[in-house]
Structure 1
């Protein structure tokens, strides 16, 4: 960030009010009475929040004026809350109307010597705060830039906003408001700074969140912006829908995908990007967009032209041969980055004369998350980098993370390309992880160390997807927005500043210690598995007890009721963790009744905290956590009442690795196979990642389980196998007999009928094949939840809805009858 400063005292990492002599500044409120006026040139917009759709229709200049009008009204509202009085606001074009003492805002301030002088400011966001001689000039390179000066002034006066809405406002009370002399001007590290809630937030949610962003000098998301093109856009599905008849008439225009049973079919929501007609239809779509929007052919616009969300690379010979033999580093499937680049390059080259300033973008993530090896991106290709495929516990500098090290190389390669030929790059981070939304988690260190890397690599656009779980995320959201503006700030200083503002000076060291401890555990561990699976490896009851003592001390130290409330809110992830660990300890020892009780306690904690604020509602976090309830209901149902557990399948199991899914034909299920020296792996008490198996991304794991049944079952009827969870298809053999095959989920139980295959009173062998067809979560794998053999009324056999086939020489598909597998 570019900044020039003279005077105006600096706080730890941002700006705050300091004690200054009365003669050293401009008094705007004296002993509760107005002592100055606010002057600005007439604005074309008012301060009303008319909604995101109305905002989206405004021109850039109109949105700038709207932002400044909102900021001026907000300035007066803060002065009213601070001192009990607001100032008169005068709209005038004539500088001769200004009578000191005065606050002068926007273009009027610029004409009076308050214009910023920072040349490298492509988005015209620079501001200047110049105070002296009883005049406070709040200038900007645009009206939007001037709005930043307004909030810089409020920060000088000690204001802060630690979360959206009135509950996040920190406004010091004083009868006299004095603005110290000085001269400060700044321009942002990232030209565009977006923040947004996922889904469809209510109008109030949207307004309060965007108001918080404006106060942090961020753009209002969804509005027209002066600089650049945010990368992204899932366009292939739109093309398929728009030209449905053509795609239906010629299925070869659809991608060739591999189904879980190994067969290849056309479909899957992705088009065949190497098909000539697909390219022609994409160009036709572009022409329609120019026509319908009234754009001239030489207009500088950017359209998304990336694949649909999810899915995978087409496996057609044309696409595979056009790509590169590189494996995607999280899923183990073929990487499709080069195919996306080839598709966009081809379109841009063919439309060069027709649309010379057209840009096309795609998101660099999922199965196209790398840097291209074969094709150099066109200079007008816009890349939106999203780090969804890598560890969410680590930053790029953490030596404990394998995936982040690789990701850092990707970021730097795109950065070198941008420096060489000017490709526009954006990055968006996500407050998304089903566990981080309910259990202790922080991005303060990740943000603090990664944002300068993005800035230095040439990324000019930064966005963040905010979770509606501010009781958990407020600290790292605060740090993120501050560093979007100034990536040179020290994240530790910003964290300290946040804690002082949110919890009070006396409680701040305790709260800072909590966030630093969570950040340390994340950073120093090598656990990268997503969702809840790494949590019992990161945290234990001793951590919970230590943090409960810390929060109790912080609550006692906090001064105001607002500070005490924020401390209390911030402890709820620790309370949830306490009951989660109790639940985990219970269900991993097959105490499903006890686990249900702990689950109920955790759910009650979540319901309590999420009811306190519309910005705490956390639907996604609660929804994912509720999956434990479905697992526990099914487990308890098959472990009690009419059913009883006959054999608890242990955590450590003999395991065979089957990279190419050939085990069914190579008798991996056979009872005569000598497995005495087989590898033993952990299942529900660990992760593949923790056991060094994160590189095993595709294929199958075969678990061999030998056990003896009593002569008589504990419950009459039959025998069954309860598989608690797996990633993400399961097939079962019992005593050399194929039982069934079914889809599965990480916490989705599947029940198999073993009645006709088991030997009561004798030794039995159950073999469970888990096949990772699609990535469900980073580096989890195999059996993920406790499983057991039970007795009781016979259960309906799990159904294999997709026929198993094998590929014979020459590519002929031969259906395999289930009974034939064991022949």
Structure 2
């Protein structure tokens, strides 16, 4: 893209003087509209293709919105006295023979190349724009509109900025552009769902294309190996099964160029022998990439002789994210790196986040064994984010150039079209996907300045404060358990001053409506943090009420503007999922019921802070630490409302403690509960759990695997009746052994007697 910058910044006097006659007029402004009257025509070829038509329609639409003028679309490219011509696509190359669209192809032209570049030249009375491939013509039109001041920050009218002017002119220029990434696309999750109507889909598609996202870049790497198990990877007959299926599909669809070999949406769980003892760096499982790639290679080698030139995508994901070390992918394989379980907060190579550093090294390793690597990213990076703002511009502006430098060919994102979450994230993402050298500061200035006008200063301060909290501080986990650490409630409460100041400044439309987005986002964030604080303080009924208020607020937001919140809410089409507001309400209401007399009576609420000690060598059980007064050593305070990593059990690079930890507390059990069943209630424990009461073993909860198997709001009650002694103080000892990711008790623990 540096060529683009060079050609776009200068007038190119010598080139334009030679190409655009008469020379005397080559450097004058080209008038497209004067005093509300069209002074130009848009010329398309007689048999205009889809992209030429879209380019012409978009130019006419936006020129009309800018000036009120109807600039006609014609097929006759002949000059007209006193009228400028905007030559589109093949109409441009027919008239301006030396336009040189081949310059927009780029250096690497292969079957993975998008060839989406374009050339635009303006001088004299001609604006000529054409793509190296048909979609490039549409991108050239959008680029021209951007030069005239148009922006599309998010879908719909409220996210669109079109300057109003009666006279529209363009200065002479020439630009040659080609995208930094061949694939530039996103999946707004929920597309086609009941919560996304045709107008929404059309608006999102237009917004994507106007920001130069890919039109028709075919690729496929979804979860498609439903009938293949980890054990069968080493079986030659399974290779034949998959190969026959692919051959049959290609026979039915001979035009098909891509096929997905993506593994199921889960861990692969190969054996240690299959993995040759290599362990995944994020999760203590045998690394599955080598067995998978060997299997994929064998399948492709069966199909390739009959159907050469096809491409086979597969996800590099979960326990098969690292690149293979003993085998290279077949040249027809396309690895799609999908970093689903990494910290989304910090930047790589900053010395503070080993996960982003390791991800970068994994991507570089893939690019060393394949020149076809794509990225499947997530936006927001927290798959479960509480609907709160998730700024990530700081990370993108540092990380994407490193990915590009490594050799990544494309960026695909699984996104929520939720402006309350994303703010400028998606706009900046698209700028960098097209031009890795894009001026991010300028893009941010455009976003805030054009959208919020007189309120820009305070909106920018509000967002910058959130961005600073997101990218600095402890906590490297990837779901909403970390949000109350990222956003300390007292700091967020102080941001109210900026929101109120923005509301005062936004004294006209559409700025006033856009600032409502900031108001909604601030209120939603505060309600969320208040809910989490109530949970931490064991005020479960209050937490349930706050969750219901979040639900009501989001109904208001969705009614006001569908793009502020909700569009593409991952694969969740309603708020009743356990990890969304109605789920939070149900969870907290059910916990409240266990202790308020309706479903049970509170026996004892344990304190938030328990005594805690690490057991890095796992000697506690052998030494009998669970016995009363048998656990000498240094104990420290540990809250049971947060995972232990955020309480000092991670190093300076964010590497958390994996291993055993012991929790100890004492509770008084009133004598009135004699003869009643007594249960110990948990709502969140990461890791394997052993429980002793008064030195007596009562329960083992095995390790349930990754975070989604443990469940976000699963209540687990353990019957401790036989070990509890009523009318006296009791000792609770809990050993948690965490193998990876997060660790410890993270929701309040209490004893209750179920209703009789």
TM-score by length of 1: 0.79
Among 529, 533, 553, the residue aligned to 1:585: 533
Partner residue of 1:57? none
Q: Is the 8 A contact 1:580 1:599 kept in 2?
A: yes
Partner residue of 1:39? 43
CA distance, structure 2, for counterparts of residue 717 and residue 322 of structure 1: 52
Partner residue of 1:683? 640
Q: Is the 8 A contact 2:611 2:663 kept in 1?
A: yes
Partner residue of 2:18? none
Q: Is the 8 A contact 1:684 1:785 kept in 2?
A: yes
| Count of residue pairs brought into register by the alignment | 711
Partner residue of 1:302? 258
Query: How far apart are residue 392 of structure 1 and its match?
Result: 1.1
For residues 598-638 of structure 1, what are the alpha-carbon distances to aligned partners after superposition, in whole Å with 9 as ceiling and x for unaligned? 33333333332233223222545854232322231122112
CA distance, structure 1, for counterparts of residue 439 and residue 237 of structure 2: 52
CA distance, structure 2, for counterparts of residue 391 and residue 234 of structure 1: 23
Partner residue of 1:786? 748
- Cα gap change, 1:194/1:102 in structure 2, threshold over 3 Å: closer, same or farther? same
Q: Is the 8 A contact 1:595 1:632 kept in 2?
A: yes
Query: How far apart are residue 675 of structure 1 and its match?
Result: 5.1
CA distance, structure 2, for counterparts of residue 331 and residue 308 of structure 1: 18
Partner residue of 1:322? 274
2:469 corresponds to 1:521: yes
- Cα gap change, 1:330/1:118 in structure 2, threshold over 3 Å: closer, same or farther? same
Partner residue of 1:155? 146
2:213 corresponds to 1:218: yes
Partner residue of 2:129? 138
CA distance, structure 1, for counterparts of residue 647 and residue 723 of structure 2: 35
For residues 121-144 of structure 1, what are the alpha-carbon distances to aligned partners after superposition, in whole Å with 9 as ceiling and x for unaligned? 642212222111121112221221
Matches of residues 400-549 of structure 1 in structure 2 within 5 Å? 400-418=352-370, 422-434=371-383, 436=385, 438-504=387-453, 506-549=454-497
- Cα gap change, 1:740/1:345 in structure 2, threshold over 3 Å: closer, same or farther? closer
Q: Is the 8 A contact 2:613 2:634 kept in 1?
A: no
CA distance, structure 2, for counterparts of residue 294 and residue 323 of structure 1: 36
CA distance, structure 2, for counterparts of residue 727 and residue 358 of structure 1: 44
CA distance, structure 2, for counterparts of residue 594 and residue 235 of structure 1: 44
Partner residue of 1:692? 649
2:4 corresponds to 1:3: yes
- Cα gap change, 1:648/1:519 in structure 2, threshold over 3 Å: closer, same or farther? same
Q: Secondary structure at the match of 2:398?
A: helix
CA distance, structure 2, for counterparts of residue 424 and residue 290 of structure 1: 24
CA distance, structure 2, for counterparts of residue 697 and residue 353 of structure 1: 50
2:223 corresponds to 1:234: yes
Query: How far apart are residue 578 of structure 1 and its match?
Result: 1.5
Matches of residues 370-769 of structure 1 in structure 2 within 5 Å? 370-418=322-370, 422-434=371-383, 436=385, 438-504=387-453, 506-558=454-506, 560-615=508-563, 616-617=565-566, 619=569, 622=575, 623=577, 624-626=579-581, 627-641=583-597, 643-655=600-612, 669-671=626-628, 673-674=630-631, 677=634, 681-692=638-649, 701-713=661-673, 717-727=676-686, 732-735=691-694, 736-739=696-699, 741=701, 744-769=710-735
For residues 795-817 of structure 1, what are the alpha-carbon distances to aligned partners after superposition, in whole Å with 9 as ceiling and x for unaligned? xxxxxxxxxxxxxxxxxxxxxxx
For residues 87-115 of structure 1, what are the alpha-carbon distances to aligned partners after superposition, in whole Å with 9 as ceiling and x for unaligned? 111124x6568984221111111222244
Greater Cα shift, 696-705 or 117-126: 696-705
Query: How far apart are residue 769 of structure 1 and its match?
Result: 4.9
Query: How far apart are residue 526 of structure 1 and its match?
Result: 3.3
Query: How far apart are residue 454 of structure 1 and its match?
Result: 1.5
2:26 corresponds to 1:71: no
Partner residue of 1:364? 316
Partner residue of 1:108? 91
- Cα gap change, 1:355/1:664 in structure 2, threshold over 3 Å: closer, same or farther? farther
Among 32, 37, 54, the residue aligned to 1:28: 32
- Cα gap change, 1:7/1:673 in structure 2, threshold over 3 Å: closer, same or farther? closer
Partner residue of 1:818? none
For residues 241-269 of structure 1, what are the alpha-carbon distances to aligned partners after superposition, in whole Å with 9 as ceiling and x for unaligned? xxxxxxxxxxxxx44xxxxxxxxxxxxxx
Partner residue of 2:248? 288
Query: How far apart are residue 145 of structure 1 and its match?
Result: 0.8
Q: Secondary structure at the match of 2:721?
A: coil
- Cα gap change, 1:668/1:347 in structure 2, threshold over 3 Å: closer, same or farther? farther
Query: How far apart are residue 658 of structure 1 and its match?
Result: 7.3
Partner residue of 2:74? 90
For residues 749-776 of structure 1, what are the alpha-carbon distances to aligned partners after superposition, in whole Å with 9 as ceiling and x for unaligned? 2223333331012332334455668x8x
Q: Secondary structure at the match of 1:367?
A: helix
For residues 565-587 of structure 1, what are the alpha-carbon distances to aligned partners after superposition, in whole Å with 9 as ceiling and x for unaligned? 11220332321222222223322
CA distance, structure 2, for counterparts of residue 366 and residue 142 of structure 1: 36
For residues 701-757 of structure 1, what are the alpha-carbon distances to aligned partners after superposition, in whole Å with 9 as ceiling and x for unaligned? 5534333323333x9843221212223665544341425758753422222333333
Can you give the 5+ residue segments of structure 1 that lack an aligned partner in the other structure? Answer: 11-20, 45-64, 241-253, 256-270, 795-823
Query: How far apart are residue 679 of structure 1 and its match?
Result: 6.2
- Cα gap change, 1:509/1:32 in structure 2, threshold over 3 Å: closer, same or farther? same
Query: How far apart are residue 700 of structure 1 and its match?
Result: 5.9
Q: Is the 8 A contact 1:683 1:785 kept in 2?
A: yes
2:144 corresponds to 1:187: no
CA distance, structure 2, for counterparts of residue 66 and residue 499 of structure 1: 33
CA distance, structure 2, for counterparts of residue 395 and residue 401 of structure 1: 7
- Cα gap change, 1:434/1:5 in structure 2, threshold over 3 Å: closer, same or farther? closer
Q: Secondary structure at the match of 2:718?
A: strand
- Cα gap change, 1:523/1:662 in structure 2, threshold over 3 Å: closer, same or farther? same
For residues 369-404 of structure 1, what are the alpha-carbon distances to aligned partners after superposition, in whole Å with 9 as ceiling and x for unaligned? 112222233333211011212111123244321210
CA distance, structure 1, for counterparts of residue 356 and residue 542 of structure 2: 38
Partner residue of 2:118? 127
Q: Is the 8 A contact 2:496 2:522 kept in 1?
A: yes
- Cα gap change, 1:738/1:687 in structure 2, threshold over 3 Å: closer, same or farther? closer
CA distance, structure 1, for counterparts of residue 555 and residue 660 of structure 2: 39
Greater Cα shift, 612-621 or 197-206: 612-621
2:162 corresponds to 1:178: no
CA distance, structure 1, for counterparts of residue 191 and residue 43 of structure 2: 38
CA distance, structure 2, for counterparts of residue 557 and residue 313 of structure 1: 56
- Cα gap change, 1:700/1:469 in structure 2, threshold over 3 Å: closer, same or farther? same
Query: How far apart are residue 41 of structure 1 and its match?
Result: 0.5
CA distance, structure 1, for counterparts of residue 244 and residue 614 of structure 2: 48
Among 265, 281, 286, the residue aligned to 1:334: 286
Query: How far apart are residue 442 of structure 1 and its match?
Result: 0.8
CA distance, structure 2, for counterparts of residue 294 and residue 118 of structure 1: 30
